[in-house]
Structure 1
């Protein structure tokens, strides 16, 4: 498969890897060579590295067909230093939202006060986080442990036992659903030692999914775990159905490297690497799953996906396998109840109540070796920046089914760039041309599922010329808000009521930009981001803006609050945002880097804490601020998350928890989480 200039950047992980990407691979010296799957089929290999003539995905006839696909594409890429970066990994190892709403248990309302939930993108679609609460308990992920805290009496009730390999297991996120806790962990293992001058091409990755019964929070009980080969990307929970997206690099492929720096040694190494690829079996390429008991002992090891559950995209897109797994939290077993796979990478994950979308950009996949056939495969040459979109039906809680795929030009900011409803997909994308004489710009593209393809029905181009997208919010099926920025902040309101003819309904240019947008009632929109110099675009500090969007053709900025030389974790992570409708308050985590020479806060101390902002019919009112760090910590750092339970505001940072009265902000540090 050909190499594009944009993809070449992916090989910059090391100088040796770059040399591998830069070398055009030699032709196979022996097309008749026999592999473990039978005689090498040159025609099948050629088909494997060519785009599909029609459609976006294709099934494989059998495991031999799938193996040929992996091998043929690897042979297009391999050079004297092999695939991946396992050699370096071995050396290193050897060296050492619909917004936050009030929720209460209907069955146990008296004992569970109203409480905030994770600020998610879509109502009814929960997202994993580093803290979860049901009003009675707070579950936190901090410093490699999952702890359950009593919300009424701040103390650690228990530390959740995690079956795994001792200190190599690191929990990253949790989900809490009707007395069941799901812990998503990464498990690190040292790279295998080189054997016979070979090394593992790709560093091992493991993800462990653990289900825990926390109906008695003082004595959590592990229900079961699975260890998965590959890296966790994201997960979504709808009802009892948990979908998790994984990406697995080939787990069993080994490679070698030159014995010296001579060209002869490099050629010999390339030939040896090609031999090693041709000698692989299907087990070396596909991910596996282990079922663990409550003590972490392996009960079984099997392929995670059958060959008939893996498909290929229209354009060969790397050597990794992207898997979408379905777990039933109402079932007795911890194993996934269904799985589907695609030979591709995956980065951005979005989900509506009945669709899951995985976006793969050119930056997510392997750089492919050069080929003179680029104009044959992609007439006119492939655009430098494209994003592939793969849509899965998740309306059936027991299974996940691929429905459609397509492409859009450019790259996506994050999950907020995507939206789906009734088979219509809206995508906000920024195109940054490689040529220095060309300007960046953004688009909103509308696509519809049509017989396995995402067919474009309409688009708006030319948004924010010379700028890039900084935030997106789909307010309803008919209206989207897009913010772009370079020196000023154009807020675009885009009418998508006619999928065939989306249009810019209104535009507002103001200094700075909003990195996160949140609707507050009818016709008003809140933005959290940075103030900036209108002439230079240099950011000056945190700001919160209130917009009137009741007339989409004439959006207005009603009010701005600013905090010089400050920023908020909300700007990078929407889950840090808390809106509490009962009191009309926004809890704003704030970090101020005071004391820096030349800043407006040069004479002020650094600050890390929260500021309360009340939003009502009259506008925004800045309330009290309070430091949330322990008294002994001398630097300013805002909390990772904020949680409201009853009349209390809880804050979580990497050291522990603080609790304050929501009305007065009286309180302070209550619990270390070492």
Structure 2
């Protein structure tokens, strides 16, 4: 769906153009400056749109005016927001990387043996791969642990190569991977800290994302295909077919501010006026992100604006100074240089993707920095109890189009709170009470894309009064499962077949809660979370539950397993969960803590454990079939479970911070095989 060109937006666009257009041609890179300051254009730039959520910028002048006018609302004698430092208090921006399917295509390995059947990253949507810290094609395992990209040969259990990231030594580090046939995509971060002169400072920290593509046709000799460096931090990456979609958030890159020379009122007034002048003198290059194309050694081949100014829009309500970008590139081309993109002057921290939509949610915590009276604009006294949602059309592999925006009351648990089908969004939210005498509650809200706005069509309120959402799973277009918790675990089954009238079909209350839900057969649902005291809500350890949901009106818990003092990363990261339907097995990384003092005590006798527990799951059956420690034999007191598990052929592999372990699927015999220091 193209951007709206509705006539109701023309007055705003005209006002912005009056204040921002330059009479001289734009220099390369979009280095546009404003002419004389136009206060009417500035007022328009900080005013909510009367109709709709979306406005385009016809040129860089209008976009620059929008950035400047909103920044002036935040200026104090001590800089934008009044802190005199970066958002995290250190002058460096905080990275927020959030995070399936078989990689497909030609497998890496050249003349190596035929790849074994293998598991893949556990993902939210079938056919939409998610970046992760480990990938396999059945012949090799690629990891990013220890800040290094290592390629491990499955047959020989050895590291056969290491992929070197381009960039400045000791400043770039890999974080996540995608694997498409023999092409590896590495996503990393690069740090830097500029130091302006003349008593000035940068109110926003520096963040860089480095993306490289690597040919692993010969795993022992990786070959760099292409690399780019992008201003900003990436929130998440998805891959659909040959196309990678990245969501980036970039703080203003070149805006400078100053502080008073002393504690006098006159010095404060002078500093505030100086800061306003610094904002008014900025160019478009000080606000928008840029991309550098790198050679194989990290040398810069070109630098240009990441998005054209007419590819960046504003939402209905001004939402800060960050620029959110949804970028695309074709893995099959071998180059990670973005081929299409769409931007929004807003932030975002939660990313959901289907095969034809990317939805980016801006949390109340992030909005909290940007709304409220000018003095309190970065950190208002009251939290913002809403979430903004922005949808992007990715149905065309060669295009990325901003479609619509809207808001829901409350906050989201994670990407699992979102779902999209045929232009209809389902959103599960929890609303915190504004006052101590009021109660939290949750809702499931249905929204539909209508022109450039997400319009509510129906909702279910009153879910888990006094509680918080702990898990969501959209089991089909007509059914959603929502778990809330405070002392007991209500599992709600919500019929969403009618977007105008969703309704709770059934409910079940049990002790504890599920933090992750996974369908394990027609009408059966596995929950992984925490056991809890029914009267106090105090958690007691890891719990796995099997639910019979064949009768939506009367869901039942048919089996439950608990591990006292236990925890699994599955509770917070779905990518740590592995289901292997071929054998009916589920694998959970498990860490069990012990209160026993370890001096002179065998860890096994203390009750502490770090490893994997295997579950046999079937229709109506759930049992533990075995557990194995996954730490190195040389460290018998190792009690931390692994981060990931994988099935390759007849073996279970586990990835910990320092290496890989390998076990026979049937017997769980095996142990530590590869060091990854």
TM-score scaled by structure 2?
A: 0.89
Q: What CA distance in whole angstroms lies between the structure 1 residues aligned with 2:387 and 2:188?
A: 28
Change (3 A) 1:545 1:102: farther
Q: Is the Cα–Cα contact under 8 Å of residues 103 and 115 in structure 1 kept in the other structure?
A: no
Match in the other structure for 1:285? 287
User: Which 10-residue stretch deviates more, 269-278 or 423-432?
Assistant: 269-278
Q: Is the Cα–Cα contact under 8 Å of residues 319 and 370 in structure 2 kept in the other structure?
A: no
Match in the other structure for 2:68? 71
Q: What CA distance in whole angstroms lies between the structure 1 residues aligned with 2:259 and 2:386?
A: 33
Change (3 A) 1:439 1:158: same
| Secondary structure of 1:267's aligned partner | helix
Match in the other structure for 1:458? 458
| Secondary structure of 2:73's aligned partner | helix
Match in the other structure for 1:219? 221
Q: What CA distance in whole angstroms lies between the structure 1 residues aligned with 2:159 and 2:348?
A: 37
Match in the other structure for 2:505? 505
Q: Is the Cα–Cα contact under 8 Å of residues 140 and 146 in structure 1 kept in the other structure?
A: yes
Q: What CA distance in whole angstroms lies between the structure 2 residues aligned with 1:585 and 1:102?
A: 18
Q: What CA distance in whole angstroms lies between the structure 1 residues aligned with 2:90 and 2:54?
A: 38
Deviations 1:135-172 (A, max 9, x none): 01000011111011001110011001211111211100
Q: What is the 5 A alignment of 1:114-125?
A: 114-125=117-128
Q: What CA distance in whole angstroms lies between the structure 2 residues aligned with 1:323 and 1:643?
A: 32
Q: What CA distance in whole angstroms lies between the structure 1 residues aligned with 2:314 and 2:168?
A: 34
Q: Give the superposition deviation at 1:78.
A: 1.3
Match in the other structure for 1:397? 397
Q: Is the Cα–Cα contact under 8 Å of residues 364 and 383 in structure 2 kept in the other structure?
A: no
Q: What CA distance in whole angstroms lies between the structure 2 residues aligned with 1:506 and 1:258?
A: 62
1:520 correspondence with 2:517: no
Match in the other structure for 1:141? 144
Q: What CA distance in whole angstroms lies between the structure 2 residues aligned with 1:87 and 1:102?
A: 44
1:356 correspondence with 2:358: yes
Q: Is the Cα–Cα contact under 8 Å of residues 90 and 194 in structure 1 kept in the other structure?
A: no
Q: Give the superposition deviation at 1:621.
A: 1.4
| Secondary structure of 1:403's aligned partner | strand
Q: Give the superposition deviation at 1:331.
A: 1.7
Change (3 A) 1:48 1:602: farther
Match in the other structure for 1:345? 347
1:330 correspondence with 2:332: yes
Q: Is the Cα–Cα contact under 8 Å of residues 77 and 369 in structure 1 kept in the other structure?
A: no
The count of residues paired between Structure 1 and Structure 2 equals 628
| Secondary structure of 2:43's aligned partner | helix
| Secondary structure of 1:632's aligned partner | coil
Change (3 A) 1:617 1:289: same
| Secondary structure of 1:156's aligned partner | strand
Match in the other structure for 2:190? 187
User: Which 10-residue stretch deviates more, 333-342 or 630-639?
Assistant: 630-639
Q: What is the 5 A alignment of 1:55-204?
A: 55-83=52-80, 87=85, 111-189=114-192, 191-204=193-206
TM-score scaled by structure 1?
A: 0.89
| Secondary structure of 1:561's aligned partner | strand
| Secondary structure of 2:67's aligned partner | helix
| Secondary structure of 2:129's aligned partner | coil
1:650 correspondence with 2:653: yes
Q: Give the superposition deviation at 1:667.
A: 0.8
Q: What is the 5 A alignment of 1:28-47?
A: 36-47=33-44
User: Which 10-residue stretch deviates more, 289-298 or 631-640?
Assistant: 631-640
Q: What CA distance in whole angstroms lies between the structure 2 residues aligned with 1:396 and 1:499?
A: 26
Match in the other structure for 1:9? none
Once superposed, what is the RMSD of the aligned Cα atoms?
Answer: 2.5
Deviations 1:73-125 (A, max 9, x none): 1110111221266636899589xxxxx77888798997111100000000000
Q: Is the Cα–Cα contact under 8 Å of residues 393 and 403 in structure 2 kept in the other structure?
A: yes
User: Which 10-residue stretch deviates more, 61-70 or 265-274?
Assistant: 265-274
| Secondary structure of 2:170's aligned partner | helix
Q: What is the 5 A alignment of 1:527-566?
A: 527-566=527-566
Q: Give the superposition deviation at 1:602.
A: 12
Q: Is the Cα–Cα contact under 8 Å of residues 384 and 433 in structure 1 kept in the other structure?
A: no
Deviations 1:379-399 (A, max 9, x none): xxx994111111111110011
Q: Is the Cα–Cα contact under 8 Å of residues 594 and 603 in structure 1 kept in the other structure?
A: no
| Secondary structure of 1:65's aligned partner | helix
| Secondary structure of 1:166's aligned partner | coil
Q: What CA distance in whole angstroms lies between the structure 1 residues aligned with 2:286 and 2:107?
A: 50
Q: Give the superposition deviation at 1:429.
A: 0.5
Deviations 1:390-412 (A, max 9, x none): 11111100111112211111010
Q: What CA distance in whole angstroms lies between the structure 1 residues aligned with 2:187 and 2:336?
A: 13
Q: Give the superposition deviation at 1:635.
A: 3.7
Q: Which ranges in structure 2 are unaligned for 5 or more consecutive residues?
A: 1-18, 23-31, 93-99, 598-602
| Secondary structure of 2:606's aligned partner | coil
Change (3 A) 1:389 1:424: same
Q: Give the superposition deviation at 1:618.
A: 4.6
Q: What is the 5 A alignment of 1:592-671?
A: 592-596=592-596, 604-633=606-635, 634-671=637-674
| Secondary structure of 2:80's aligned partner | coil
Q: Is the Cα–Cα contact under 8 Å of residues 79 and 203 in structure 2 kept in the other structure?
A: yes
Match in the other structure for 2:275? 273
Change (3 A) 1:44 1:221: same
Q: Is the Cα–Cα contact under 8 Å of residues 103 and 116 in structure 1 kept in the other structure?
A: no
Match in the other structure for 2:28? none
Q: Give the superposition deviation at 1:494.
A: 0.2
Change (3 A) 1:505 1:91: closer
Match of 1:302 among 301, 304, 314: 304
Q: What CA distance in whole angstroms lies between the structure 2 residues aligned with 1:330 and 1:402?
A: 24
Q: What CA distance in whole angstroms lies between the structure 2 residues aligned with 1:474 and 1:516?
A: 12
Q: Is the Cα–Cα contact under 8 Å of residues 404 and 449 in structure 1 kept in the other structure?
A: yes
Q: What CA distance in whole angstroms lies between the structure 2 residues aligned with 1:482 and 1:88?
A: 38
Match in the other structure for 1:578? 578
Q: What CA distance in whole angstroms lies between the structure 1 residues aligned with 2:88 and 2:499?
A: 51
Q: Give the superposition deviation at 1:450.
A: 1.2
User: Which 10-residue stretch deviates more, 154-163 or 383-392?
Assistant: 383-392
Change (3 A) 1:596 1:466: farther
Q: Give the superposition deviation at 1:259.
A: 2.1
Q: Give the superposition deviation at 1:326.
A: 0.5
Q: Give the superposition deviation at 1:502.
A: 0.3
Q: Which ranges in structure 1 are unaligned for 5 or more consecutive residues?
A: 1-30, 95-99, 375-381
Change (3 A) 1:563 1:495: same
Q: Is the Cα–Cα contact under 8 Å of residues 481 and 491 in structure 1 kept in the other structure?
A: yes
Change (3 A) 1:574 1:88: closer
Change (3 A) 1:596 1:301: same
User: Which 10-residue stretch deviates more, 109-118 or 153-162?
Assistant: 109-118
Change (3 A) 1:419 1:170: same
Match of 1:205 among 207, 219, 231: 207
| Secondary structure of 1:87's aligned partner | coil
Change (3 A) 1:602 1:150: closer
Change (3 A) 1:501 1:339: same
Q: What CA distance in whole angstroms lies between the structure 2 residues aligned with 1:183 and 1:298?
A: 18
Q: What CA distance in whole angstroms lies between the structure 1 residues aligned with 2:346 and 2:435?
A: 28
Match in the other structure for 1:25? none
Q: What CA distance in whole angstroms lies between the structure 2 residues aligned with 1:395 and 1:265?
A: 55
Q: Is the Cα–Cα contact under 8 Å of residues 614 and 625 in structure 2 kept in the other structure?
A: yes
